[in-house]
C-alpha cells in the first residue's frame, strides 16, 4: 500500500471523530480573573458581578487530565475525545469567536464542544493535520460565546521555528498604537498555570530547544491573542462582537514584541497584530466592536 493510500485510510478513520461532542460546566470564579488581571499588569482586578473581559474565558474549563495521562510533551494523551493523531507536535493555530452577551464574575457556565472538522494539508514543514472544535458557552441567560478553535498537528521531524531575530528587518506598517511587550518566563509560567497548560515548550527550555527545535520558550498563542484584545480595550474601549486570530510564527520569551492595532474602513472594525523582533507579524487578528445604530 502506498503512503498516500495509507494516509487516506488514516484520515478516513480520524474523521469518524467528527460530530463527537462533550459538555462541561464551570463557574466564572473571582480568583482566576483576579490572578489574570495581575498577570496582565492591570491596575484593578474584576469584582463579583463584573463583566469578564474578552477572551478571559480561556482560563476556565481547563483540562483535567490525570498526571499519568500526560504525554512526554505535557499534553494529555490522544485517543479519547480528540482522535489518536499520529503527528506528535500540536499547537493552537487560531480561532474565531462571536460574543452574544457578557459572562459575569459568579456565573455558572455550560460549554458544549463538538469536533466539526478534521483536514489534512501539506506545508513547508511537511504533513499537517487541522482539527477544528466548536465551543458554545451558555449561562442561564442564554448563549454567550460561539467559538471555533483550530488545532494543528505536525511531525516531530519538521523544523519548528526560525531562530531569534537579531534586529528589525522590515519597515513596520502604520498603526494607531504600537505597545511594547517583553515576555519573560514568569509571564509564560503564570499564564500556563492559570490555563493548566502543561505543554513543556512554555516553561521547559531544554525540552523546547532540544526536543521541539524552538529558539526559546514559546509565548502561548492564546496569551498573545488575549494581549491584543486587552490593548484594543485600553486604546479604544467598547465591547467585542467578533474576534478572529491566526498564529503565523512564534514569539519567544526574552524577545521584544509589539502589540499593534489600526482601524479598518468599516466603523468599529480593527486590524490587530503582534510583531516579533524582525518586524514581521507573529499573529494577526481582526476585531469588531459593538456599535450603535447611529454609527
pLDDT of residue 167: 41
What region does 284 belong to: left with phi over 0, alpha with psi -120 to 50, or beta? beta
Which residues in 279-291 are b (16+ Cβ under 10 Å) and which e? ebbbbbbbbbbee
Nearest-angstrom CA–CA distance, 59 and 2: 44
Say if 295 falls within a structural domain. no
Please count the structural domains in the chain.
1
Nearest-angstrom CA–CA distance, 132 and 94: 10
pLDDT of residue 292: 67
pLDDT of residue 8: 52
CATH of the domain at 140: 3.10.129.10
DSSP string, 205-220: HHHHHHTS--SSPBPP
Mean pLDDT of the chain: 90
C-alpha grid cell for residue 9? Answer: 485510510
CB atoms within 10 A of CB 101: 14
- Taking residues 81-104, report their average pLDDT: 92
C-alpha grid cell for residue 258? Answer: 509589539
With bands split at pLDDT 50, 70 and 90, how would you rate the model's confidence at 190? very high
Say if 23 falls within a structural domain. yes
With bands split at pLDDT 50, 70 and 90, how would you rate the model's confidence at 115? very high
Lowest mean pLDDT among 25-29, 125-129, 206-210: 125-129
Say if 181 falls within a structural domain. yes
Domain boundaries, position 57: 3-289
* Per-residue pLDDT tens digits for 220-251: 999 999 999 999 999 999 999 999 999 999 99
Say if 72 falls within a structural domain. yes
Evaluate if residue 178 carries a pLDDT over 90.
yes
Amino acid at each position: 500500500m502506498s503512503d498516500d493510500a495509507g494516509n487516506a485510510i488514516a484520515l478516513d478513520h480520524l474523521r469518524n471523530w467528527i460530530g463527537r461532542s462533550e459538555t462541561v460546566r464551570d463557574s466564572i470564579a473571582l480568583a482566576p480573573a483576579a490572578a489574570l488581571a495581575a498577570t496582565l499588569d492591570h491596575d484593578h482586578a474584576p469584582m463579583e458581578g463584573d463583566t469578564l473581559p474578552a477572551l478571559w474565558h480561556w482560563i476556565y474549563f481547563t483540562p483535567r487530565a490525570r498526571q499519568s495521562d500526560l504525554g512526554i510533551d505535557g499534553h494529555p494523551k490522544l485517543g479519547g475525545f480528540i482522535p489518536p493523531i499520529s503527528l506528535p507536535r500540536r499547537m493552537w493555530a487560531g480561532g474565531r469567536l462571536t460574543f452574544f452577551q457578557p459572562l459575569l464574575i459568579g456565573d455558572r457556565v455550560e460549554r458544549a464542544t463538538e469536533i466539526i472538522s478534521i483536514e489534512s494539508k501539506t506545508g513547508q514543514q511537511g504533513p499537517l493535520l487541522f482539527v477544528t472544535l466548536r465551543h458554545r458557552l451558555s449561562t442561564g441567560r442564554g448563549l454567550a460565546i460561539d467559538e471555533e478553535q483550530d488545532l494543528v498537528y505536525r511531525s516531530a521531524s519538521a523544523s519548528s521555528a526560525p531562530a531569534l531575530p537579531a534586529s528589525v528587518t522590515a519597515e513596520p506598517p502604520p498603526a494607531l498604537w504600537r505597545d511594547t511587550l517583553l515576555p519573560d518566563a514568569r509571564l509564560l509560567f503564570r499564564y500556563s498555570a492559570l490555563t493548566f497548560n502543561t505543554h513543556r515548550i512554555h516553561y521547559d527550555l531544554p525540552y523546547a530547544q532540544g526536543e521541539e527545535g524552538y529558539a526559546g520558550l514559546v509565548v502561548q498563542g492564546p496569551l498573545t491573542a488575549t494581549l491584543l484584545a486587552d490593548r484594543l480595550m485600553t486604546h479604544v474601549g467598547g465591547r467585542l462582537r467578533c474576534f478572529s486570530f491566526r498564529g503565523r510564527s512564534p514569539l519567544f520569551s526574552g524577545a521584544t514584541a509589539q502589540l499593534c492595532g489600526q482601524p479598518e474602513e468599516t466603523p468599529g472594525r480593527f486590524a490587530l497584530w503582534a510583531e516579533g523582533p524582525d518586524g514581521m507579524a507573529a499573529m494577526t487578528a481582526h476585531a469588531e466592536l459593538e456599535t450603535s445604530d447611529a454609527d
